[in-house]
Structure formats: structure tokens, C-alpha cells
Amino acid sequence: MNLLAERLEYPKGAVAVALVNGKSEQSRKMLERAGEVAGPDWKDFNSQRCLRLTLPRPRNTADLQAHRFHMTMARLLLSHADALVGYKYCNGVNNNDPEEDVWIAHRWIAEQGIHTQHRVLPKRLAEPINRLIAVVSDLRRDHETSAAES
């Protein structure tokens, strides 16, 4: 990670990797919040700990280069281990609707007296390769069964 950060000319210390173990009440809450972002079945993968990466945030929601970098890094991590990868696009955002796959930004426009909302970014960046392979295998098996019945 540090080598990648250096190559991208991030300032020293801009990329941090931390293992979150659910041993204390505070770390269990942190783990639970991260898990809710990663997906509804996060406990099936590892309910005791997670890897937390802190990277430079995109400048804004239109900073596609930074978002692509984060998504590519998620896929690189998945090439080494089966995991769920969740994504929080900014500090302080609350996951009020864990079932929703996309972050929804809410905004109060006082001068107009209206409340707006818009879709921002996906919460889940990548799924484990074994899950994708299982889906493809099921599709193939269904196709072979259909062909044999015809």
C-alpha cells in the first residue's frame, strides 16, 4: 500500500491500513458499521475483524479518477482473498439505510424550504470472486439442464 501511495505521489501518511478487531465495545461498533456498508452478509465472511483502509478522499463526487482508483484497489485486494468491500465516500456520512446499495445524499435548501436527495456512489465496490464463480456455475448448470430437457 505504501508503495502504491508513493507511486501516486500521495503525501507520506496519507494511506493507512488498520486491522479492526471486535474486542472492545467501540471496535465492535466500528466493525458493525463497516460491515453494514460492505453488505448484508458481512458476518458470514468475518464477524470478528475487518481491514480498514484510509485513502485520500476524492475531491468531490465528480472526481472519477479517484473513485476508479478506489474501485481498482478493491479488486486488487480481492485478487488475494475473498472479501466484501464497502465504500464510504466521505467522513461523517451515516448508513441510515443498510439495504440500499447506493449512498443517498440529503440536502436541506433553507432559502427554498425544500429537502432534496440524490444518488451519490455505490456502497459496495466488489464481491468475492468465489461468489461470482458460483453464480456463473449455476447459470451454466441451468443452461445444461434446459438443453438436456429439450
Can you tell me the distance from the alpha carbon of 85 to that of 73, in angstroms, rounded to the nearest whole number? 10
CB 82 within 8 A of CB 103: no
Count of alpha carbons within 13 angstroms of residue 46, beta-carbon side? 16
pLDDT of residue 15: 82
Per residue in 125-139, pLDDT tens? 777 777 777 777 887
What does each C-alpha distance from 14 to 1, 2, 77 come to in angstroms? 11, 9, 18
* Total count of residues recorded for the chain: 150
pLDDT of residue 134: 79
Percent of the chain with pLDDT over 90: 11
Closest among 25, 23, 4, 5 to 13, alpha carbons compared: 5
- Helix then strand count (H, E) for the chain reads 5, 6
Can you tell me the distance from the alpha carbon of 129 to that of 73, in angstroms, rounded to the nearest whole number? 15
Per residue in 21-78, pLDDT tens? 989 999 999 899 888 888 888 888 888 988 888 887 777 767 777 777 777 777 777 7
Can you tell me the distance from the alpha carbon of 45 to that of 85, in angstroms, rounded to the nearest whole number? 11
27 in helix, strand or coil?
helix
Can you tell me the distance from the alpha carbon of 56 to that of 37, in angstroms, rounded to the nearest whole number? 19
| Domain ranges across the chain | 2-94+125-149
- The pTM for the full model equals 0.66
pLDDT of residue 146: 75
